Structure 1
Amino acid sequence: MCAILPLLFLPAFALSQAAAPDTSPARVNADPLFPFSREIEAFAKAEEKDPAVPDAALFLGSSSIRLWDIHSSFPDVGTVNRGFGGATTRDVLHYYPRLLPHAKPRSVIVYVGENDLAGGADPQNVAREVLALLKRLRADYPKAHIAYLSLKPSPIRWTLWPKMAAVNITVAARARVQRFDYVDVGRTLLAPDGLPDASLFRKDGLHMNARGYDRWTRVVDAYLDRMQIADSRAVATS
């Protein structure tokens, strides 16, 4: 596997908005030691209640994953959503065993790292933890297609874009070695002037609206289609 889409070019200018924390409404836990306990418990209850989804596409990460209506966006494949608002890469690693579905997925789509930078983390450390997560997923799912979605440019966090680009570059450079795919979902959110297209985001300037998610869906659906074709060809020649 390799990086399948080009990296975003780093613009030479920045908007004046300050980086904002993730204000996703689902993060309601008061316990500072276990800030996502309710969301994680909800995942466990869903696993007990709903039948396992074989060969699913597992979506894993922060609020950009949680707010994505993946069931409707990808009606031709089974999906499992394990996104929780405000999550950092370290949070995903901490809860990792409790995030995985019972049935092994065919594909894993990961978006995480943005909240790390918004919280003041160094890009090198963020990239290191993202790669640790991807390495763990590869060890647990040696035959799955694993894709890391590039960190996205957003109006309210535009001042963080140089750091996001640094993480993207570092992670993309390791794609072939660690056997995952780097999928650029950021370019599709830019306006012709090279700045984030505000019409693709909610009023908070951070989370995407339906139009923004439509852009992401087209990119990821094309990726999943290519992986399905590759699987079919592998079966035909085996």
Structure 2
Amino acid sequence: MRTANIICARSTAIKATALDGRKALSALLIACAASASAVAAPPPGPAASLAPNADPAFPFSREIDAFARANSAGLPVRDATLFLGSSSIRLWDIAGSFHDIGTVNRGFGGATTAHVLHYYKRLLPPVPPRSVVVYVGENDLAAGTSPEAVSRDILTLLKKLRADYPRASIAWLSLKPSPIRWTLRPKMAQVNAAVAARAKAEGFDYLDVGTVLLARDGLPDASLFRPDGLHMNARGYQRWTGLVDNWLDHLPPVATARNAS
């Protein structure tokens, strides 16, 4: 799977002139996704026992334990922005990207919305955050969960955050397009629309972070992604940082949020 994904992702990085335009690139992206799903997973070997979180009963135990240790180490970060979700959050250089505010990163790779809900209480920082940024749901669709179920789970998570943090500003980042998961784009659009439609009523903001990752032809810009064709590189994260930073700039001042609480 890894080899197939890397080959496909590297292929999508070839300039459009070499691919003979939009049609060739579109065909290549679809072929990549198909080849990735067709490759059988390798049988478990000796290396499997060395992989982190190998216990299927507790697939994220080490990450969750690390969050607990971070909570107990030193003074809690007050008036922080909590970043919560899957690997797109975990791989983001949150502290370096938002150096002028306090941040807490609670992203763990491979997480679905169900995983975040399962570990919910153990993911929260020791003091209430000023704001919360959530990215989750993409892995749900990749695992075969229906868009309707994914939307329900995301809204359940956002409702829990709103109930626990009534004074905090909350933003959900739309599901992003990527070369390796381009065939999931229609389902992602369905989830994005369903969640966006409930934003005002449920008291959170919907941030479109997918459009900035598209090239002029409407396909994912491979130059913004890592060789795996799934995760963003530094240039891709710069675009996300700009959008989220703009959202944070329009939140109430920290002093106002603290006095209100």
TM range (shorter): 0.7 to 0.9
Alignment map for 1:217-228 (pairs within 5 Å): 217-228=241-252
What's the C-alpha RMSD, in Å, of the aligned pairs? 2.0
Unaligned runs of 5+ in 2: 1-25, 38-50
Look up the equivalent residue of 1:164 and give its one-letter code: M
2:168 aligned to 139, 144, 163, which one? 144
The residue number in structure 2 matching 1:116 is: 140
Residue deviations 1:66-119 (CA, integer Å, cap 9, x gap): 000010100111000000000000000000000000010000000000000000
Residue deviations 1:31-78 (CA, integer Å, cap 9, x gap): 111100000000001111132001100000000000000101001110
Alignment map for 1:7-156 (pairs within 5 Å): 15-16=29-30, 17-18=32-33, 28-156=52-180
Corresponding pairs, count:
218
Query: Using the alignment, how far apart are the partners of 2:204 and 2:84 within structure 1?
Result: 14
Give the superposition deviation at 1:221.
0.2
Greater helix content: 2
Look up the equivalent residue of 2:101 and give its one-letter code: V
The residue number in structure 2 matching 1:7 is: none
The normalised TM-score by structure 2 is 0.80
The answer on 1:178 being equivalent to 2:202 is yes
Look up the equivalent residue of 2:166 and give its one-letter code: P
Look up the equivalent residue of 2:133 and give its one-letter code: I
Give the superposition deviation at 1:199.
0.1
Query: Using the alignment, how far apart are the partners of 2:139 and 2:162 within structure 1?
Result: 23
Deviant stretches of 4+, over 3 Å: 231-235
The normalised TM-score by structure 1 is 0.87
Give the superposition deviation at 1:233.
8.2
Partner of 1:34: helix, strand, or coil?
coil
Give the superposition deviation at 1:228.
3.6
Rg larger in 1 or in 2? Answer: 2
Summarize the Cα distance change of 1:34–1:233 in structure 2 as closer, same or farther, 3 Å threshold: closer
Query: Using the alignment, how far apart are the partners of 2:120 and 2:144 within structure 1?
Result: 23
The answer on 1:164 being equivalent to 2:188 is yes
Give the superposition deviation at 1:225.
0.3
Structure showing greater relative contact order (alpha-carbon pairs closer than 8 Å, 6 or more residues apart): 1
Structure 2 contact 130–257 (Cα < 8 Å) conserved: no
Summarize the Cα distance change of 1:36–1:197 in structure 2 as closer, same or farther, 3 Å threshold: same
Partner of 1:18: helix, strand, or coil?
helix
Partner of 1:58: helix, strand, or coil?
strand
- Give aligned-pair identity as a percent: 69
Partner of 2:187: helix, strand, or coil?
helix
Structure 2 contact 167–257 (Cα < 8 Å) conserved: no
Query: Using the alignment, how far apart are the partners of 1:80 and 1:232 within structure 2?
Result: 19
